[in-house]
Amino acid sequence: MKVKNIAIIAHVDHGKTTLVDGMLRQSGVFGSHEVLSERVMDSNDLEKERGITIFSKNASLRFKDYKVNIVDTPGHADFGGEVQRILKMVDSVLLLVDAFEGVMPQTKYVLKQALEHGLRPIVVVNKIDRPNSTPEEVVDSVFDLFVELGANDLQLEFPVVYASAKNGFAKYNLEDADENMQPLLETILEHVEDPEGDPEAPLQMLATNIAPDNYLGKLGTGRIYNGVLSKNQEVTLIKRDGELINYKVTRIFGYEGLKRVEMEKAVAGDIVTIAGLEKIDIGETVADRENPMALPLIDIDEPTLAMTFMVSDSPFVGREGKFVTSRNIWDRLQKELEHNVSMKVEETESADAFIVKGRGELQLSILIENMRREGFELQVAKPQVIFKEVDGVKCEPIELAIIDVADEFTGVVIEKLGIRKGEMINMVQGTDGYTRIEFKVPARGLIGFRNEFMTETRGTGILNHSFYDYEAHRGEVPTRQRGVLISIDAGTTTAYSLGNLQDRGVLFAPPGQEVYAGMIIGEHSRENDLTVNVTKGKQLTNMRASGSDATVKLAPPREFTLEQALEYIADDELVEITPESIRMRKKILDEGARKRSQRKG
């Protein structure tokens, strides 16, 4: 069976997973009796809820006399580690670009990775059925991007396919009839190179993904570069540090559609999953027992953001979660490292706190969200960017931000990002009343900016950003402009006390919510923090006063998602996370101790 290996890369929400759906359906992978959900590749609960891909996944289809292995990759820059290791497995990529939105930050990031690996992309312009789409202009901008990223002459001769993944068709020219996905599949067979590799050479397989299995133990997925791999074969695992460990391969699985299918043997060029190697890790080589030779290790970009995970010392600890100790949290973080290569975990001087480093807020918040769903209780501090020294100069991570905003809000957005040390590098006015602005902004400047941005643009602005490079430190960046309202007492909030506080700011807590001293229950209208009593009830008498007993009218409280809470908190605050609640609080709960600490500081 001849094989083609291809990955699909794109900016988030440009339709990667929907395109894979269409290809799998039309190639006959699914029977007519099978009921399919949309985006079948998004198997994780969080992926389904958010409509994004977080973990890369394998599938395969048969077209003519070829088996096409497809890898769906995440679109967020925070999951760039997934993309980088997947590119080691494939011989080409489908670069998917939205016919309406055009080239976005993540498109640049993933394309740069693919070009550096020497791959020749196939460009798929998706969503050509959208109103106001401009497919020809998008192809021109993609060509400009290839030139900007230093593509060679072969890479610049990229084939283009126009598609609507949602409606299940692809075509070579915009004038062609809308039929099916066949033009895209034909293009893959024609332009993707056959995998290199010598079946006669000693075995070499590179592990690019790890997954636990309750029955088979640790599973390693990767591509066989040379040789033949058979069931029950004696192999040698070459660890990252050069250590050699002998194992027997107990099971080999390939892919038919989305299903794992057991195989007796696999040859060079195939992507397979193997069992029996208990200590296998990402980037390590499974080699021939007699002649073990290591493949090059996978280089992964360094983390740019760090967050402290702590054991919860909240008065409410243990009420909602099952796992609350430092050992529980440490073991869970170590388990995450097994398959998440772009994340690092470090111990601190305190036994109850760990520093977790990742590629961005979204990656860290997805980890926290998964932990709370598994029954963990913990608290986390404000994300901090990771500085590094380059040639004796203190440097910080810079993000490339692309903002689509209504013309009337361009001035305020430019002003707000200017205050946060952003540098405008491009501005294009559209015909639909929207302007696209490109900025280079310190990563510090974007922490906490999204809430402010959505408020200033009345919820209509779109902000996308991805890591650009390390550049010289740009000085102080202002943080949150307003203080918070802090509960002085433990108890249950009352409508009476909340009604009296409405003039002081925006409330986060509804009536009837249990609170504790030091918990943040609102945003103050001024710069300073204010300690308030939200549990006080109205003094009842046997006299009725006309007008004063009218029902208290409360504005709806502002609710925070996990990401919004992480962006909102200041350096002296924490987010407390439990399976059922997300609360914001001061690090020091007692008001007197807090004031003494501020005086010392």
Q: Binding site for GTP: which residues?
A: 13-18, 126-129
Complete DSSP assignment for 252-275: EEEEEBTEEEEESEEETT-EEEEE
List the binding residues. Answer: 13-18, 126-129
Q: Let me know the angle formed at the C-alpha of 423 by 422 and 426, rounded to the nearest 5 degrees.
A: 125
d(CA 240, CA 12): 32
d(CA 427, CA 572): 37
In the structure, how many helices (H) and strands (E) does the chain have?
15, 35
Burial (0-12, 13-18, 19+ Cβ within 10 Å), 5: buried
The pair phi, psi for residue 443, each rounded to 5°, is -55, -35
- Using alpha carbons, select from 572, 585, 570 the residue that is nearest to residue 479: 570
d(CA 272, CA 208): 10
Residue 78: which region, alpha, beta or left (left: phi > 0; alpha: psi -120 to 50)? Answer: alpha
Which helix (H) or strand (E) segment holds residue 524: the answer is strand 520-524
Complete DSSP assignment for 208-251: EEEEEETTTEEEEEEEEEESEEETT-EEEEE-TTS-EEEEE--E
Q: Which two tokens stand for residue 530?
A: 């204010």
Residues in the chain: 601
Residues with Cβ within 8 Å of 138's Cβ and at least 6 positions away in sequence, in order, are 97, 98, 99, 102, 103, 125
CA distances from 296 to 85, 207, 234, 239, 453 (A): 12, 11, 22, 12, 43
d(CA 389, CA 384): 16
DSSP state, residue 504: G
